[in-house]
Amino acid sequence: MQPVVVAHRGASAHRAEHTLAAYALAIEQGADGLECDVRLSRDGHLVCVHDRRVNRTSTGRGVVSELELADLAGLDFGGWHDELPPSADDLIREPVAVPSARPTERGLLTLTDLLGLIVDAPRPVTLFVETKHPVRYGGLVEAKLLATLARYGLARPASKQDSRVLMMSFSARAVRRMHRYAPRLPTVLLRDSISPMRRDGSLPPWADVTGPGVHLLRADPDYVARAAARGVATYCWTVDDPADIALCQRLGVRYLATNSPVATRRQLAG
């Protein structure tokens, strides 16, 4: 079975991450799923921003949780990112016709905006939402996420297989909390490292999918098979290098998070 191609922060190789333009392009590029990070603004809105601060990815400065939605909405989140790749070699490797992002697609992206895009997409697309921790609001992030998903009828799928949303976090507490709130919503436990006790591929009962960084699979490729033997699927991030894509395909990684859905899909198709 081919891996499910998940656009990491949107088609972020070609568009500024976490912008509507990046996600719209990912859908055009044939991504099966979209990955996003969420944080709470000071006034309690879930916004799609990776870093604790907005400094790297916008025209503003400051900590997301100290800014109100109106402050964040006034920032340009697209201008920092060059739409051309770093070198002409990349253009040859990835000959993608990429129209310029419209200014309206470069502003702040809320989770609600992203869910709107998914609901209106011409084909089913799965959302992989990562809650960032530690944050000053703690568990309020998961509570708010669930309430937002519920408004779109996505919080209580008929079964885990039917779910169009997976919740993810590096925080075990956050994943466990989400499982308690919504037991049928599938969860991914992200990991930068795996404790010796869990190298057998096992997961705690509140997590459904294991989420290692690709560096962990390079060091221990058999981990995917050990997890599969326990009925645990693997979500691997962030897989852009052709050798890593080939490795994940060979190992049977189920979900592959990539910054360039078009290049990854092309390589997977052979």
Q: Is 257 in the site for ligand G3P (CB under 6 A)?
A: yes
14 is catalytic: no
Site string for Ca ion, 111-130 (x = CB under 5 A): -------------------x
Q: Is 11 in the site for ligand G3P (CB under 6 A)?
A: no
Q: Is 240 in the site for Ca ion (CB under 5 A)?
A: no
Rounded CA-CA distance 122/99 in Å is: 19
Number of helices and strands in the chain (H, E): 10, 9
The structure tokens listed for 176 are 């466990």
Report helix, strand or coil for 157: coil
The backbone torsions φ and ψ at residue 66, rounded to the nearest 5 degrees and listed phi first, read -105, 0
Select the residue interacting with ligand G3P from 4, 28, 30, 50 (CB under 6 A). Answer: 50
Q: How near is the Cβ of 89 to ligand G3P at its closest, in Å?
A: 24
Q: Is 37 in the site for Ca ion (CB under 5 A)?
A: yes
Rounded CA-CA distance 6/259 in Å is: 8
Q: How near is the Cβ of 262 to ligand G3P at its closest, in Å?
A: 18
Q: Where are the beta strands (DSSP E) in 145-228?
A: 165-169, 187-191, 209-212
The structure tokens listed for 191 are 């990991």
The partner in contact with residue 190, picked from Ca ion, ligand G3P, none with C-beta cut-offs of 5 to 8 angstroms by kind, is ligand G3P
Select the residue interacting with ligand G3P from 237, 247, 261, 264 (CB under 6 A). Answer: 237
Rounded CA-CA distance 164/158 in Å is: 11
The structure tokens listed for 182 are 């919504």
Rounded CA-CA distance 240/13 in Å is: 9
**Which is the catalytic residue, given 18, 50, 81, 215?**
50
Q: How near is the Cβ of 236 to ligand G3P at its closest, in Å?
A: 9
Q: Is 37 in the site for ligand G3P (CB under 6 A)?
A: yes
Torsion angle defined by CA atoms of residues 1, 119, 102 and 47, in that order, rounded to the nearest 10 degrees: -90
- H/E segment holding residue 4: strand 4-8
Residue whose CB is less far from Ca ion, 37 or 208? 37
The partner in contact with residue 77, picked from ligand G3P, Ca ion, none with C-beta cut-offs of 5 to 8 angstroms by kind, is none
Q: Is 240 in the site for ligand G3P (CB under 6 A)?
A: no
Residue whose CB is less far from Ca ion, 29 or 131? 131
Q: How near is the Cβ of 185 to ligand G3P at its closest, in Å?
A: 17
Q: Is 17 in the site for Ca ion (CB under 5 A)?
A: no
Q: Left (φ > 0), alpha (ψ -120 to 50) or beta: where does 142 sit?
A: alpha
Give me the residues that bind Ca ion (CB under 5 A), please: 37, 130
Query: Hey, which residues are catalytic here?
Result: 8, 50
